[in-house]
Amino acid sequence: MTRYRTTSDMPGGMRALHDRQHGYRPAPPAAAAREKRTSKYNAVPTEVDGIRFDSKAEANYYRKLKLRVQAGEVRYFLRQVPIHLPGGVKYVCDFVEFRADGTHHYVDVKGVITPQFRDKKKLVEALYPITIECVK
């Protein structure tokens, strides 16, 4: 004997439990499916050379950096370099440039400088012999 004919006849909590047990996931509402999410600071993700960048500014800096490598000004560069900080915090620098004159530069491309970025930058510069350049 079945107490309920369909799941829609069940109380809400029982229906949710049934759905979880049977792997049912409702389809998103049509309006939500059509909405395009934007980033907090209106950065537009951009792809260059098969690499996804978080913003157009970062992608443009990458293009310029490649030209500087071809010109011989920069020997090579690294992308998305993690720097570990106390408390399990990690700061990720956008680019580390190794220049032809033997120096290296840490560069972060920022459209908006947030208080969180300022704090992490100060901490990195206090703990390591690094100076982070901000490029817009």
pLDDT digits (tens, 9 = 90+) for 38-86: 777 778 888 888 889 888 999 999 999 999 999 999 999 999 999 999 9
Q: Which two tokens stand for residue 108?
A: 């972060």
Q: Is residue 22 part of a domain?
A: no
Domain enclosing residue 91, as ranges = 46-135
Question: Which of the four pLDDT bands, split at 50, 70 and 90, describes residue 15?
Answer: confident
Give me the pLDDT at residue 76, please.
95
Give strand ranges (E) for 29-115: 46-48, 51-53, 74-85, 89-99, 104-109
Q: What CATH number is given to the structural domain containing 113?
A: 3.40.1350.10
Give strand ranges (E) for 20-88: 46-48, 51-53, 74-85
Number of domains into which the chain is organized: 1
Distance CA 56, CA 13 (A): 46
Q: What is the rounded radius of gyration, in angstroms, for the C-alpha atoms of the chain?
A: 24
Q: Is residue 55 part of a domain?
A: yes
pTM of this structure: 0.69
Distance CA 20, CA 9 (A): 17
Q: Which two tokens stand for residue 57?
A: 């500014």
Residue 127 has pLDDT above 60, yes or no: yes
Question: Which of the four pLDDT bands, split at 50, 70 and 90, describes residue 33?
Answer: low
Contacts of 98 (CB under 8 A, 6+ apart): 74, 75, 76, 77, 104
Q: Is residue 35 part of a domain?
A: no
Give me the pLDDT at residue 74, please.
95
Q: Is residue 80 part of a domain?
A: yes
Q: Is residue 6 part of a domain?
A: no
Q: Is residue 38 part of a domain?
A: no
Distance CA 61, CA 58 (A): 5
Q: Is residue 87 part of a domain?
A: yes
Nearest to 134 by CA among 96, 106, 99, 103: 106
What is the CA angle 63-120-47, rounded to 5?
Answer: 25
